[in-house]
């Protein structure tokens, strides 16, 4: 008897897969419906559009090759027979390289040149060549950026082009940028420019099924853009960060269909134990080429310990791609992930369609107070530079607002809006920041944001003058408006979409609790899923009602069922709410979604000692809740009169989302416990009454 032992298949990732189960017929059917639901949103390009992109890349690659030849002739007077051998090429990265770009999306490109071509040549002689190219429009160079870039529109396609000079005399046509030896003798700017291509190629190399990965990532990108949480510059996640999260889920379920991966994505990432990092491969500090570039590791670098949502790039030198994330943006994304999980679960139960996942955000109905940031210029060329510059500084304003003790949450909408009418001017855009205030019981509040806003405008103008960007006519203005005044700045179509999204969300929330109480059946999870996911329930005392939002929500949605995921219990005469508590997922230790959280293990020491001040510690541990859904009924009277009158108490309670509880974790042999929080406290969440809030903007 001959027994043939098949070698065990090696799967990428720092842990073994959770499940190797293949797709079932229902999964394949749901995946087909998912693809059909995404098509109306312009997610897929036609063959003609793809061919046009290929032509544009071919033209820009030809320009780069000819430019390198010209530089070679001028600099070193090389003979003609050697000039053709120098090579040079244009590589792509980002969404185009991953194969998930949408209609009208830009292309991220990298110009790779031999060692005798300098960065100064790229921003001088090559920039002049682009100026004289008829197909090039909206050309601008940002040489002072952290990653220097030339931006342009080439034959209708937006291009961002970086530059990297390799320490090679010639650039081979089939060069593999993943090779770490290429980083030898390079400066930091070139390494940062190469990082985009290296990370993208490494992601594709680390996913087991690229087709399922791409389809799932397309859905996640569309969902994130619709919900307004897709922007690295504004403190949310960018395309690469979302891609790495999807890639990690693909590693855990290598044979799953896109619909299954989408459900697992929301289930795992919503319950992730931040700031435990997401890693696609193990951290590498030493390499055979003796490169000494800094690598993200909170055990070594003190500053890395304060990153709130670390997602680590897989290519050396490994870095955190989400260092811009703040407490507010993390809280907002966590809430959206929770809503996404509820919708996908209902889709699998046959009670919802995929279109519900891609409904627009209700941002313009979510808050009662907004900050409107307006950037304008006189000339089109100045406007393009000013727009990008102001956008890169908005997170400073959000940071100022977050540090204000009266503000609980500052939510910036990533998509700016243009002029509403001709009187606004042609070259103008507006960003909107929704505000949630800390409610103090039995007190009127006068909130003065003058210092926060003035310090931001001073910083913007001072730095603009420093880098010689400031031109005549460039302006930045900041105003405070209430929700009822948004029609002066926001098109009616967008306001209507926001109202419809709020109604749909409240409707789903209303019928959710009724269906859960009728049936205890849940989606099938494998045993590994049970070990991976944990959730718990928590009883929270509510001191008073938030009556305005509660009554207006009932007016907007006529439903006899009670508010979602809440059940009232009479305990010693007190009214209590049972709300879903915060989860504690990691790559190594998670619990069942159907069981309550057990006691935290005692005596588990973390290799990281997080050094934070008392104020900073309390800020992280305090609830950073997204504001409740705001009323959709028409506001007849003035906003001031509505705020001054306190609503009578109601019997219904409004659910408040609960901040993640910090729990110590047992160390794992597979995953280094890099960022274990050091607290194990059950923090009470107290909901204050909705009192007067008056803003004074001097």
Q: Are 62 and 111 in contact (CB under 8 A)?
A: no
Tokens of 42: 């312009």
Is 221 a known active-site residue?
yes
Is 555 a known active-site residue?
no
Specify the pairing of strand 157-165 against strand 107-113.
parallel
127 is in an annotated binding site: no
Q: Are 593 and 671 in contact (CB under 8 A)?
A: no
State how far Cα 148 lies from the chain centre. 23
487 is in an annotated binding site: no
In angstroms, the CA 550 to CA 527 distance is: 40
Q: Are 222 and 238 in contact (CB under 8 A)?
A: no
Among the listed residues 269, 363, 366, the one whose alpha carbon sits nearest the alpha carbon of residue 322: 269
Among the listed residues 343, 363, 333, 360, the one whose alpha carbon sits nearest the alpha carbon of residue 34: 343
Q: What are residue 435's phi and psi, to 5 degrees?
A: -120, 135
82 is in an annotated binding site: no
Is 70 a known active-site residue?
no
Catalytic residue among 225, 227, 230, 653: 230
In angstroms, the CA 272 to CA 87 distance is: 46
Tokens of 20: 């190797």
Catalytic residue among 70, 78, 106, 479: 106
In the three-class reduction of DSSP (H, G, I as helix; E, B as strand; rest coil), residue 141 is classed as: strand
Is 108 a known active-site residue?
yes
637 is in an annotated binding site: no
Residue 379: burial class (beta carbons within 10 Å; 0-12, 13-18, 19+) = middle
93 is in an annotated binding site: yes
Catalytic residue among 27, 31, 72, 108: 108
Specify the pairing of strand 136-142 against strand 568-571.
unpaired
106 is in an annotated binding site: yes
In angstroms, the CA 283 to CA 672 distance is: 10
Catalytic residue among 27, 72, 96, 221: 221
Q: Are 265 and 231 in contact (CB under 8 A)?
A: no
What DSSP state is assigned to residue 311?
Answer: B
Catalytic residue among 121, 160, 529, 587: 160
160 is in an annotated binding site: yes
CB-facing half-sphere around the CA of 250: CA atoms within 13 A = 25
Q: Are 698 and 450 in contact (CB under 8 A)?
A: yes
Q: Which residues 6+ apart lie within 8 Å of 294 measured at CB? A: 301, 317
Q: Are 47 and 282 in contact (CB under 8 A)?
A: no
Tokens of 362: 């209700």
Q: Are 113 and 68 in contact (CB under 8 A)?
A: yes
Is 230 a known active-site residue?
yes
Catalytic residue among 95, 376, 553, 565: 95
Q: Are 545 and 649 in contact (CB under 8 A)?
A: yes
Give the strand order in the sheet containing 568-571.
537-541, 574-580, 568-571
108 is in an annotated binding site: yes
In angstroms, the CA 554 to CA 518 distance is: 22
In angstroms, the CA 453 to CA 396 distance is: 10
In angstroms, the CA 166 to CA 181 distance is: 10
Q: Are 657 and 626 in contact (CB under 8 A)?
A: yes
Q: Are 462 and 469 in contact (CB under 8 A)?
A: no
Q: Are 233 and 431 in contact (CB under 8 A)?
A: no
107 is in an annotated binding site: yes
582 is in an annotated binding site: no
In angstroms, the CA 658 to CA 621 distance is: 11
In the three-class reduction of DSSP (H, G, I as helix; E, B as strand; rest coil), residue 695 is classed as: strand
Tokens of 63: 């320009």
In the three-class reduction of DSSP (H, G, I as helix; E, B as strand; rest coil), residue 666 is classed as: coil
Catalytic residues: 95, 106, 108, 160, 221, 230
> Binding site membership for Mg(2+): which residues?
106, 108, 160
> Binding site membership: which residues?
93-95, 102, 106-108, 160, 221, 230, 239-240
């Amino acid at each position: 008897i001959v027994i043939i032992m098949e070698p065990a298949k090696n799967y990428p990732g720092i842990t073994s897969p959770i499940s190797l189960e293949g797709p079932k017929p229902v999964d394949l059917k749901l995946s087909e419906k998912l693809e059909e639901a995404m098509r109306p949103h312009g997610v897929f390009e036609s063959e003609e559009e793809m061919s046009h992109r290929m032509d544009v890349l071919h033209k820009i690659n030809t320009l780069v090759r000819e430019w390198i030849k010209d530089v070679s002739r001028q600099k070193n007077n090389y003979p003609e027979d050697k000039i053709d051998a120098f090579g040079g090429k244009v590589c792509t990265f980002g969404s185009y390289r991953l194969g998930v770009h949408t209609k009208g999306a830009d292309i991220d490109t990298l110009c790779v040149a031999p060692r005798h071509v300098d960065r100064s040549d790229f921003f001088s002689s090559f920039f002049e060549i682009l100026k004289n190219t008829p197909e090039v429009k909206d050309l601008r160079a940002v040489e002072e950026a952290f990653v220097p870039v030339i931006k342009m529109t080439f034959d209708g396609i937006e291009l961002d082009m970086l530059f990297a000079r390799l320490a090679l005399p010639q650039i081979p046509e089939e060069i593999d940028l993943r090779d770490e030896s290429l980083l030898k003798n390079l400066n930091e700017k070139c390494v940062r420019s190469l990082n985009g291509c290296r990370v993208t190629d490494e992601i594709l190399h680390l996913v087991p099924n690229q087709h399922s990965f791409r389809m799932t990532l397309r859905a996640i990108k569309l969902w994130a853009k619709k919900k307004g949480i897709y922007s690295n510059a504004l403190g949310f996640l960018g395309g690469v960060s979302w891609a790495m999260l999807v890639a990690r889920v693909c590693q855990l379920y290598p044979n799953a269909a896109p619909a299954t991966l989408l459900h697992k994505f929301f289930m795992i990432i919503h319950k992730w134990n931040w700031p435990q990092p997401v890693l696609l491969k193990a951290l590498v500090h030493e390499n055979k080429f003796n490169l000494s570039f800094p690598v993200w590791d909170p055990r070594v670098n003190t500053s890395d310990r304060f990153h709130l949502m670390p997602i680590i790039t897989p290519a050396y030198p490994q870095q955190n791609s989400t260092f811009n994330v703040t407490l507010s943006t993390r809280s907002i994304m966590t809430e959206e992930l929770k809503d996404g999980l509820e919708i996908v679960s209902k889709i699998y139960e046959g009670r919802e369609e995929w279109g519900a996942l891609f409904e627009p955000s209700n941002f313009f109905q979510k808050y009662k107070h907004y900050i409107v940031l307006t950037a304008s210029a006189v000339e089109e060329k100045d406007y393009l530079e000013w727009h990008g510059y102001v956008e890169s500084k908005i997170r400073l304003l959000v940071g100022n607002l977050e540090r204000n003790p009266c503000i609980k949450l500052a939510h910036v909408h990533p998509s700016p809006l243009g002029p509403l009418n001709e009187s606004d001017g042609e070259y103008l855009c507006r960003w909107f920041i929704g505000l949630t205030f800390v409610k103090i019981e039995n007190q009127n509040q006068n909130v003065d944001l003058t210092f926060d806003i003035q310090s931001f405008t001073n910083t913007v103008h001072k730095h603009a003058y420093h880098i010689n960007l400031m031109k005549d006519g460039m302006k930045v203005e900041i105003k405070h408006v209430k929700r009822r005044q948004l029609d002066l700045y926001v098109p009616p179509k967008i306001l209507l979409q926001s109202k419809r999204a709020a109604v749909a969300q409240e409707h789903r929330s209303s019928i959710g609790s009724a269906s859960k109480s009728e049936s205890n059946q849940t989606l099938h999870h494998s045993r590994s899923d049970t070990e991976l996911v944990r959730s718990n329930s928590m009883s929270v005392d509510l001191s008073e009602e938030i009556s305005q939002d509660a009554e207006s929500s009932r007016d907007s949605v006529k439903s006899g069922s009670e508010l979602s995921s809440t059940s009232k219990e009479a305990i010693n005469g007190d009214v209590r709410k049972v709300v879903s508590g915060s989860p504690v997922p990691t790559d190594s230790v998670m619990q069942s979604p159907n069981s309550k959280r057990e006691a935290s293990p005692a005596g588990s020491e973390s290799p990281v000692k997080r050094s934070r001040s008392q104020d900073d510690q309390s800020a992280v541990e305090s609830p950073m809740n997204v504001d409740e859904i705001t009323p959709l009924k028409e506001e007849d009277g003035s906003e001031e009169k509505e705020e001054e009158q306190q609503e009578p108490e109601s019997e219904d309670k409004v659910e408040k989302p609960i901040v993640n509880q910090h729990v110590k974790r047992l160390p794992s042999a597979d995953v280094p416990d890099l960022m274990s929080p050091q607290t194990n406290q059950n923090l009470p969440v107290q909901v204050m009454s909705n009192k007067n809030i008056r803003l004074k903007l001097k």
